[in-house]
Amino acid sequence: MSLLAIIGGSGFSDFPALEIEASRRVETPFGETSAPVAIGRLDGAEILFLPRHGAGHRLPPHRINYRANLWALRALGADRVVGLAAVGGIGARFAPLALAVPHDLIDYTYGREHSIYDGEQDALDHVDMTSPYCEELRGVLIRACAESGHPAIEDGVYAATQGPRLETTAEIARLERDGCDLVGMTGMPEAGIARELGLCYASLAFVVNWAAGKGEGAITMAEIESHLRTCVGHVRKVLGIVATAG
C-alpha cells in the first residue's frame, strides 16, 4: 500500500493535526536528518512527517541535509512525498494566499549537496528531469485543493534560490525574464534527490508574499506571518484529503 510522507516547511515545523504514534531517527549514508521522522495518522490515514528546517525552524535552506531527509523517508517505506513550500509570488496569478502545484522549476542554488551520486555511494546515474514533479501526485494535489474549497493554480515554474535572505528587485526581474512564477529556497535539491531515489514527489506551494518589486513597499515578516497563518489552515485541509485518498 502506498505510504505518503509530508516534508514540512515554513509554518510546518510541527504538525499538531498529526496523531503521532512513533518517532524514528534513521541512520543514513549521508548523516543526520533535519529531525526524527514522525509516524502517525492524519484523519485516520498513516503518514510520515519530517520538518525540513528541524525542530523550531533552526536550519536555513542551504544547511538542510536534503539527501538524508529523503533517504530516511524512503527507508521507512514512503513512496510518495509532498514537499510543502511557502513562496513569494512573481507572476500576476500568484497573489498572496494562493495555493499552487508547480509543474517545473529552475535551480539557482549553489554549494549544496545536490545528488546521492557523490562517488562514494552507488554507481553514477543521470536521472531524467524533463518533468521534475510526479504528475500522478500533482493530480492528486490539484483535486484535493478543489475538494477542500481552496482551488490551486495548476501549474507554475518554481525558482529555487539560495537564501536565507530574500531576493532583490533586480533578481526577481531576472527570474521573471527566465519564466519563473514562484520563488522559494528549498525546492532544490529536494526534487532532484527524490527523483534519484525513485520517489513520487510533488510540491504544494502557498504564497505568503509578493516577491521583491511586485508588491507595494518592502516585504515584512509581519505580512509573511499573517499570510502564513491563513495558508496553514488551507493546506491542512488539503493534506487531510490527500492522506485519505490512498
pLDDT at 116: 92
Position 15 confidence tier, pLDDT thresholds 50, 70, 90: confident
Q: Answer yes or no: is 211 a known binding residue.
A: yes
Label residue 246 exposed, middle or buried (CB < 10 Å: 0-12, 13-18, 19+): exposed
Q: Answer yes or no: is 185 a known binding residue.
A: yes
Q: Answer yes or no: is 188 a known binding residue.
A: no
Tell me the per-residue pLDDT of 136-153, one tens digit each, with 9 for 90 and over.
Answer: 999 999 999 999 999 999
Q: What are phi and psi of 124, to 5 degrees?
A: -65, 140
Tell me the per-residue pLDDT of 58-92, one tens digit each, with 9 for 90 and over.
Answer: 899 999 999 999 999 999 999 999 999 999 999 99
Position 119 confidence tier, pLDDT thresholds 50, 70, 90: confident
DSSP one-letter code for 40: E
Q: Answer yes or no: is 34 a known binding residue.
A: no
Q: In a 3-state reduction of DSSP, which class is residue 53? A: coil
pLDDT at 56: 82
Average per-residue pLDDT for the chain: 94
Segments in 83-220 forming alpha helices (H):
135-148, 169-177, 187-196
Q: Answer yes or no: is 33 a known binding residue.
A: no
CATH, domain 4-244, list 3.40.50.300, 3.40.50.150, 3.30.830.10, 3.40.50.1580: 3.40.50.1580
Q: Would you say 48 and 78 are in contact if contact means Cβ atoms under 8 Å apart?
A: yes
* Closest residue by Cα to residue 31 from 76, 55, 63, 5: 63
> Which pTM was predicted?
0.94
Q: Answer yes or no: is 226 a known binding residue.
A: no
Segments in 39-186 forming alpha helices (H):
66-75, 135-148, 169-177
Q: Answer yes or no: is 65 a known binding residue.
A: no
Q: What percent of the chain has pLDDT over 70?
A: 98
How far is residue 47's CA from residue 2's CA, in Å, rounded to a whole number? 10
pLDDT at 122: 65
Q: Answer yes or no: is 53 a known binding residue.
A: yes
In this predicted structure, the answer to whether residue 120 has a pLDDT above a threshold of 80 is: no
How far is residue 160's CA from residue 80's CA, in Å, rounded to a whole number? 21
Q: Would you say 28 and 72 are in contact if contact means Cβ atoms under 8 Å apart?
A: yes
Measured over the CA atoms of residue 44, residue 84, residue 111 and residue 124, the dihedral's sign is: positive
Q: In a 3-state reduction of DSSP, which class is residue 172? A: helix
Residue spans of the domains in the chain: they are 4-244
pLDDT at 175: 98
Overall average pLDDT of the 34-43 stretch: 95
Q: In a 3-state reduction of DSSP, which class is residue 191? A: helix
